[in-house]
Amino acid sequence: MWNFPLFPERASTGAHDVDFVFFCVMLVILFFLGLILSLFVTFLIRYRRGTKVNRSEPPDTNLKIEVAWVVIPLIISILLYVLATSVFFRLYRAPGDAYVVNVVGKRWMFTLQHPEGKREINELHVPIGRPVQLQMISQDVIHSFFVPAFRTKQDLLPGRYTTLWFEPTKVGKYHLFCAEYCGTNHSRMAGSVYVMEPADYERWLEVGGSNITLAKQGEALFQARHCGGCHGPSQAVRAPLLDGVYGSQVPVLREGDKVPHFVAADQRYIRDSILEPKKEIVAGYEPLMPSYRDQLGEDDLLKLIAYIKSIGLGKEAAR
Amino acid sequence: MTLVREPVTAHEDYLDAGYSLKSWLLTTDHKRIGLLYMASITFFFFVGGAAATIMRLELMTPRGDVLYTPDSYNRLFTLHGVIMVWFFLIPSIPAVLGNFLLPIMIGARDLAFPRLNLLSWYIYIVGGLLVLGVLIFGGVDTGWTFYVPFSSMFSNTNVIGAAVGVFIVGFSSILTGLNFIVTTHTMRCEGMTWERLPLFVWSMYATSLILVLATPVLAITLALLAAERIWGVGIFDPKLGGDPVLFQHLFWFYSHPAVYVMILPGFGVISEIVPCFSRRTIFGYKFMAGALLTIALVGFVVWGHHMFVSGQSMYAGMVFSLLSFIVAIPSGIKVFNWTATLYKGSIRFDTPMLYALGFIGLFTIGGLTGLVLASLGVNPHVHDTYFVVAHFHYIMVGGMVMAYLGGIHFWWPKLSGRMYPELWGKLAALTVFIGFNLTFFPQFVLGYLGMPRRVYEYAPEFQVLNVMSTAGASILAVGYVLPLAYLLLSLRYGSRATANPWRATGLEWQTESPPPTENFVEPPVVIEGPYAYSPEAAEEADHGHH
């Protein structure tokens, strides 16, 4: 019973960085706590009622001292701030070549889908030594994807993608929790992250599940929904072709705009264009597309995005 | 400090001004209204505490067992949060001690608007009973933070009832804040300049500024939440072009300043107790008053540090993190100055001083762990875990509740005209200190290990620390029941208090215990600063006794 952990395992590159900042902050905390405590104890003993010590003219203020304990903590704070913020930059910005896994949160489970097409629920299998980026959205309320061994979390919002990335460094099984209170079974919205050797991971990917990639599933959906009728080469209605769009800058007109401005064609843009096509009209086109709001689930949207990304900028030649 | 004449002993004190129920329920005497608040918030404190006790019992084991369903646990932590924040912590020191002491401390007969003051209490009671009824007979499962879209679209509980109750009680806060501000500006007695205001009055003033400026935003936020829930107006619903994160911005724009409402009054109490029991003036008076105002103002621009992982932009996070580091500086000034106030003092360890020393230690831990949370790099790991729970309980329970109890003991002779039993007082203070640390220290460890907050069940390896926490909570409960018992008994059996049992310098000590209805027989005149103590005189006086 007494064999319980006091410090969490470290299983990602980020975990080492976060712990380093944590130890630095703790050092500052212990320094100030020690300083105040030792002054406290000294004064309380020395100046307790009845001791024969000099009590004449107790100072009622001292500008130098006051300035010192404004300026010194301020300098230490700024140093901590710079350190902590630089680590945050690294935690926040995923490397470009990260392996993207889609996550949809719903009460009370995380459903995940790998680019190779394999799906899992409340479990995430990832290879060691490769940056993994989670592209996340919620179907209902706000959830939060939290892996203590990776020292990071990110909320999943309805209607908007958020991302989280990490690079696992240690093989093992780690806790996955939902950290944002989401109703009745919030505490059971939990599972595990498995960090595996690359070879084991490849084997795992092949066993069971679909071996149709996410992009291919998206392409099938694209055809089944007749998206190509307008967006394809043999278009009946004039609509933008989608080859080379993802990752580019698209000129769009918002309501009331006279001149177009450019937006990044990312997952946010694709999602909004499907659900709210009238919001940002590509310059030179008519607002003809209907909304697919109640016809496509979050999983479908992610598949379509994977497909459009696969024919995106720099990739259209490969098709 | 003053030129008040000897108390005219034949004068009727405020407690003897009437014994009927009507004389209490229709009183406009700030002292009686303070006591009405004291009775009401004590009731709410024990209701919220009972909820916490049941939660701690549930958390003794990893699986759900004490409560039959997760929903009952979710309702319980919502009840605990809503009651403790809006019906205990926010009114605690301001509405009880502030009401009672602010006019006396500045040499006034009453607050500027005595009838408005009574109205504040009635508004508080109406809001409180409504919320209590909703929380107990229906239940609400959103947590005190009411995050959308859970609260607006998914919670099948009486969210609107609770929101209306909190909306109502907000007006009580606003009116009290307004009353304090006007009173401080217009009703100071002759010689009571701004630089002679006791720091307790400064703390009430700073708190009132926050109450008046921030509470309307809460009212707006709750009104929008209700509109969203009833009519689906779509301010927060992404399907209609709304943004759920906007709710968090609005909520924390109120609730972060409100956190300072839950600690600045504690600073005020400690700044009265420490000089009195060290028998010397406070160190750095101007910095102490300035720090209070700085915290009140900078506290308005740090709200985004509750939202580093909410999908807020990285650059917003950077600004809020920097401001959060900066707001820690004035808190640091306060702790350093209290410590320096002990230097060359003549220190006695009576119960109020024990609470004050406990406060400084626990607030320091609570405040410094805030640096961990303000650090952008570490926050994503500890956000929404027990680390946060431990951090804010160190400030609100280790800080504010300690200060409240210290203040109640310090001013008990003035409030009641009776002395409390000193030995029991010290015993209870010690029990609270030990129980508190045992309850909340393990939660820091649990949080860094990764235990999320607001969970009914948890991973088995977290159990030992949770059992420690629950054990601490039971000690803490004893520590809170003890003062309730001996303070009530002292009303009958306590020895009669003299006008100034602590030989303190504040104006409130220069009138009788309990004070007459009009506070002072003759209007006082102030001729020196608030903490004109002398440690050497205290030593000599004590020497004379032996």
Q: Work out the pLDDT band at A1, boundaries 50, 70, 90.
A: low
Cβ-defined contact of A58 to B535 (cutoff 8 Å):
yes
Is A57 or B439 the better-scoring residue by pLDDT?
A: B439
CA distance B342 to B334: 13
**Residues B516/B11, Cβ–Cβ less than 8 Å:** yes
Residue ranges of alpha helices (H) inside B375-401 are 379-382, 386-395
Q: Does A152 touch chain B (CB under 8 A)?
A: yes
Residue B79, C-beta contacts closer than 8 angstroms, at least 6 positions apart: B47, B48, B51, B135, B136, B139, B140
Name the nearest CA neighbour of A145 among A136, A153, A137.
Answer: A153
**Residues B288/B199, Cβ–Cβ less than 8 Å:** yes
Q: Work out the pLDDT band at A317, boundaries 50, 70, 90.
A: very low
Residue B108, C-beta contacts closer than 8 angstroms, at least 6 positions apart: B183, B187, B188, B189, B519
Cβ-defined contact of B347 to A49 (cutoff 8 Å):
yes
Q: Which residues pair with A178 in a beta bridge?
A: A145
Q: Report the residue from B325, B368, B385 with minimal CB separation from A29.
A: B368
> Mutate which of A154, A181, A192, A280 to disrupt the B interface (most B C-beta within 10 Å)?
A181
Q: Does A47 touch chain B (CB under 8 A)?
A: yes
Average pLDDT over residues A274-292: 89
Residue A318 above 50 pLDDT? no
Inside any domain, residue B9: no
Residue numbers in A near B455 (CB within 8 A):
186-187
Q: Does A86 touch chain B (CB under 8 A)?
A: yes
- For residue B443, the enclosing domain spans 30-506+517-540
| Closest residue on chain B to A279 (Cα) | B241
- Helix, strand or coil, per DSSP, at residue B211: helix
d(CA A110, nearest CA chain B) in Å: 16
SS (H, E, C) chain A: CCCCCCCCCCCEHHHHHHHHHHHHHHHHHHHHHHHHHHHHHHHHHHCECCCCCCCCCCCCCCHHHHHHHHHHHHHHHHHHHHHHHHHHHHHHCCCCCCEEEEEEEECCEEEEECCCCCEEECEEEEECCCCEEEEEEECCCCEEEEEHHHCEEEEEEECECEEEEECECCCEEEEEEECCCCCCCHHHCEEEEEEECHHHHHHHHHCCCCCCCHHHHHHHHHHHCCCHHHHCCCCCCCCCCCCCCCCCEEEEECCCCCCCEEEECCHHHHHHHHHCCCCCEECCCCCCCCCCCCCCCHHHHHHHHHHHHHCCCCCHHHC
Q: How many CB atoms lie within 10 A of CB B313?
A: 9
**pLDDT tens digits for B234-280?**
999 998 889 999 999 999 999 999 999 999 999 999 999 999 999 99
* Residue carrying the six token digits 């003759």: B522
CA distance B233 to B227: 6
Instruction: Report whether the peptide linkage leading into residue B149 is cis, meaning its omega lies within 30 degrees of zero.
Output: yes
Residue-level pLDDT at A93: 86
ipTM: 0.93
Cβ-defined contact of B343 to A1 (cutoff 8 Å):
no
CA distance B376 to A163: 16
Number of H helices, E strands in chain B: 18, 0
How many alpha carbons lie under 13 Å from residue B442 in its C-beta half-sphere? 20
* Residue carrying the six token digits 């989670």: A134
Residue numbers in B near A152 (CB within 8 A):
380-381
**pLDDT tens digits for B311-324?**
999 999 999 999 99
**Residues B308/A162, Cβ–Cβ less than 8 Å:** no
Q: How many CB atoms lie within 10 A of CB B162?
A: 28
Q: Work out the pLDDT band at A235, boundaries 50, 70, 90.
A: low
Q: How many CB atoms lie within 10 A of CB B522?
A: 12
Q: Report the residue from B70, B155, B384 with minimal CB separation from A180.
A: B384
Inside any domain, residue B13: no
**Residues A176/A190, Cβ–Cβ less than 8 Å:** yes
Inside any domain, residue B1: no
Q: Does A73 touch chain B (CB under 8 A)?
A: yes
Residue A299 token pair: 């999983």
d(CA A46, nearest CA chain B) in Å: 9
Cβ-defined contact of A154 to B155 (cutoff 8 Å):
no
Inside any domain, residue B425: yes
Q: Which amino acid is located at B231 in the chain? A: W
CA distance B301 to B298: 6
**pLDDT tens digits for B10-39?**
568 999 998 999 999 999 999 999 999 999
Inside any domain, residue B86: yes
Cβ-defined contact of A81 to B325 (cutoff 8 Å):
yes
How many alpha carbons lie under 13 Å from residue B181 in its C-beta half-sphere? 14
d(CA B52, nearest CA chain A) in Å: 18
% of chain B beyond a pLDDT of 90: 93
Name the nearest CA neighbour of B513 among B486, B482, B490.
Answer: B490
Instruction: Report whether the peptide linkage leading into residue A108 is cis, meaning its omega lies within 30 degrees of zero.
Output: yes
CA distance B516 to A76: 51
Taking every pair of C-alpha atoms in chain B, what is the biggest distance, in angstroms? 79
Residue B279 token pair: 């028998």
Residue numbers in A near B360 (CB within 8 A):
36, 40
How many A×B Cβ pairs under 8 Å? 272
d(CA B301, nearest CA chain A) in Å: 17
Residue-level pLDDT at A239: 86
Cβ-defined contact of B448 to A8 (cutoff 8 Å):
yes
Inside any domain, residue B24: no
**Residues B339/B284, Cβ–Cβ less than 8 Å:** no
Inside any domain, residue B398: yes
Q: Which amino acid is located at B236 in the chain? A: F
Cβ-defined contact of A59 to B342 (cutoff 8 Å):
no
**pLDDT tens digits for B462-472?**
999 999 999 99
Residue A116 token pair: 């190779």
Residue B79 above 60 pLDDT? yes
CATH number at residue B227: 1.20.210.10
Q: Report the residue from B283, B285, B381 with minimal CB separation from A152.
A: B381
Residue numbers in A near B325 (CB within 8 A):
77-78, 80-81
Q: Which of residues 265-284 of A touch B (CB under 8 A)?
A: none
Residue numbers in A near B295 (CB within 8 A):
none
Residue numbers in B near A83 (CB within 8 A):
377
Residue B1 above 70 pLDDT? no
Q: How many CB atoms lie within 10 A of CB B148?
A: 30
Q: Report the residue from A47, A179, A181 with minimal CB separation from B342.
A: A47
**pLDDT tens digits for B179-209?**
999 999 999 999 999 999 999 999 999 999 9
Inside any domain, residue B163: yes
Residue numbers in B near A186 (CB within 8 A):
70, 74, 454-456
> Mutate which of B338, B378, B388, B437 to disrupt the A interface (most A C-beta within 10 Å)?
B378
Q: Work out the pLDDT band at B542, boundaries 50, 70, 90.
A: confident
> What are the strands of the beta sheet with A152-156, ordered from one edge?
A123-127, A190-196, A172-178, A143-147, A152-156
Q: What rounded mean pLDDT belongs to chain B?
A: 95
**pLDDT tens digits for B117-149?**
999 999 999 999 999 999 999 899 999 999 999
d(CA B128, nearest CA chain A) in Å: 25
DSSP string, B39-89: HHHHHHHHHHHHHHHHHHHHTTSSS--SSSSHHHHHHHHHHHHHIIIIIII
Q: Which amino acid is located at A118 in the chain? A: K
Residue A2 above 80 pLDDT? no
Angle (CA) B319 B323 B325, round 5°: 120
Q: Report the residue from B153, B311, B321 with minimal CB separation from A85.
A: B321
Q: Number of folded domains in chain B?
A: 1
Name the nearest CA neighbour of B461 among A7, A192, A153, A188.
Answer: A7
Cβ-defined contact of B452 to A179 (cutoff 8 Å):
yes
Residue-level pLDDT at A29: 96
Q: Which residues pair with A164 in a beta bridge?
A: A134
Residue A242 above 50 pLDDT? yes
- Helix, strand or coil, per DSSP, at residue B385: strand
Residue numbers in B near A178 (CB within 8 A):
452
Residue B7 above 80 pLDDT? no
Burial pattern B175-188, b for ≥16 Cβ within 10 A else e, equals: bbbbbbbebbeebb
Residue numbers in A near B312 (CB within 8 A):
none
Q: Does A197 touch chain B (CB under 8 A)?
A: no
Q: What is the pTM of this model?
A: 0.94
CA distance B46 to B52: 10
Phi, psi of B113 (to 5 degrees): -125, 85
Domains and CATH numbers, chain A: 13-49+58-92 (no CATH), 99-206 (2.60.40.420), 214-318 (1.10.760.10)
Exposed/middle/buried for B36, CB within 10 Å: 0-12, 13-18, 19+? Answer: buried
**pLDDT tens digits for B371-412?**
999 999 999 999 999 999 999 999 999 999 999 999 999 999
* Alpha-carbon separation of residue B146 from B150, B155, B243, B411 (angstroms): 8, 10, 15, 37
